[in-house]
Amino acid sequence: MKKTSAYISSEITDNEKEVMEMLSMQRTDLAVELREELDEKEMIPGVHVSTRINRDNDMKETRIDIDSKEGAEKIGKPIGTYITIESEELRCSDEDYHEPMSESLYRHLKEMLGNSRKILIAGLGNRGVTPDALGPLVVDNLYVTRHLLKEEIVQCPYEISAISPGVMAQTGMESQEILLAVIREIQPEVLVVIDALAAGNSNRLNKTIQLADTGIAPGSGVGNHRKAITEETMGIKVIAIGVPTVISVPAIVDDAMDVMLEAFGRNGTRQAIEEFTEEERYQLACEMVEPYLANMFVTPKNIDEAIKRISFTISEAINRLQHSYN
């Protein structure tokens, strides 16, 4: 068996299996990046993209609605709505940085919730691994009200309960299994899951929040596939909130290729690489690194500070629901 890429002519090398495993992985959890990998001029049936830019706070909102099977297959995401909010402010330590992002996330979340009032928040991830601790830290900052409403201590528009189910290595159970048991007991109307994601572009790390009404497949971006948490598997509506905190080494190399292309200028080398498909570029990136690096994911060095700030932003957006009575 020979490699099929045009730029490879040798027999399968020792790291072929590693490369194939990387290529079978979803390189990003972000719908906006999956759309960008396709020809921007290509009209995809059933895929509708709209973008809004707020110049006052340099915040960009991209909404992708997928309403056909063909569109879902082309993008690589289930039918549903995906909203991406991006801002450099999310990377800043300014105390006011979180206000516009939190407000935007609150508005979109409220819209997706519709008339649902009983909400279960699930903070997915491993609290002991900083890039994966987003979900548990969001839960720590939430204003939960289910117990207060049951005791008639407060009056709030939303009944909110929360849980951090941990990861299988800690509990021996899938997060899906734990959440199914909780849902059977407290019977919420909607489940909101919060998790760290993987990015395909380093420029989106720790500055992007994705909101989707299609649920989530934990670990899909890093090849650690766990049972999906969706409306079909949970029996209730599932909304997912995620932030890309890690990126694979081949994806970083792929980013670097764009810089190399600019350095090459308009010559034969540049033209040859520009003719590669996204999959071929990613395969080349995998083969440019050592086999053990092909399966490595990295995170920015200031991840501790970033996760703390971003988790607060998300929790504030959810807590704003209790001040909304319409």
- Is residue 273 assigned to a domain? no
The pLDDT, as a whole number, for residue 264 is 61
Phi and psi (nearest 5°) for 120?
-105, 125
CATH number of the domain encompassing residue 317: 3.40.50.1450
- Is residue 4 assigned to a domain? no
Residue 270 CB coordination number (10 Å): 15
- Is residue 127 assigned to a domain? yes
Q: Which domain holds residue 22?
A: 16-251+294-323
Give the ranges where 122-213 is alpha helix by DSSP (H): 134-140, 146-150, 168-171, 175-186
The pLDDT, as a whole number, for residue 8 is 34
- Out of 11-20, 143-152, 156-165, 233-242, least confident range: 11-20
- Is residue 115 assigned to a domain? yes
- Is residue 110 assigned to a domain? yes
Residue 208 CB coordination number (10 Å): 25
Radius of gyration (C-alpha) of the chain in whole angstroms: 21
- Is residue 50 assigned to a domain? yes
d(CA 234, CA 293) in angstroms, rounded, equals 36
The pLDDT, as a whole number, for residue 20 is 42
The pLDDT, as a whole number, for residue 263 is 58
Torsion angle of C-alpha atoms 173, 174, 175, 177, degrees rounded to 10: -80
- Out of 15-19, 92-96, 237-241, 308-312, least confident range: 15-19
- Is residue 261 assigned to a domain? no
Q: Cβ distance 154 to 148 under 8 Å?
A: yes
Flag whether pLDDT at 90 surpasses 60: yes
d(CA 138, CA 196) in angstroms, rounded, equals 11
**Quick one: pLDDT band at residue 12, thresholds 50, 70, 90?**
very low
Give the chain's domain count.
1
The pLDDT, as a whole number, for residue 165 is 95
Flag whether pLDDT at 223 surpasses 90: no
Flag whether pLDDT at 10 surpasses 60: no
- Is residue 260 assigned to a domain? no
* Best CA proximity match to 73, nearest among 41, 46, 51, 50: 46
**Unique residue bearing structure tokens 């690589």:** 76
